[in-house]
Amino acid sequence: MLLGHLILDEPVTSWTLGGAVLVMAGIAGVFNNRPPAPKKVAA
């Protein structure tokens, strides 16, 4: 989004910002719902 604005002079609208927020929220939701990794026991 930032590169498109800087290089191609694309407009940053409220729709663009809203879509970016939804994408970031989806990514955060996927990574926050992963179960914790099992702990390794030293032998």
* Predicted confidence band of residue 43 (pLDDT cuts 50, 70, 90): low
Any domain includes 40: no
Query: By C-alpha distance, which of 29, 35, 5 is closest to 17?
Result: 5
What is the tally of structural domains in the chain? 1
Contacts of 4 (CB under 8 A, 6+ apart): 10
- Give the tens place of pLDDT for each residue, 22-36: 999 999 988 887 777
Any domain includes 28: yes
pTM of structure: 0.62
Any domain includes 43: no
Any domain includes 11: yes
Contacts of 20 (CB under 8 A, 6+ apart): 1
Structure tokens at 34: 């992963």
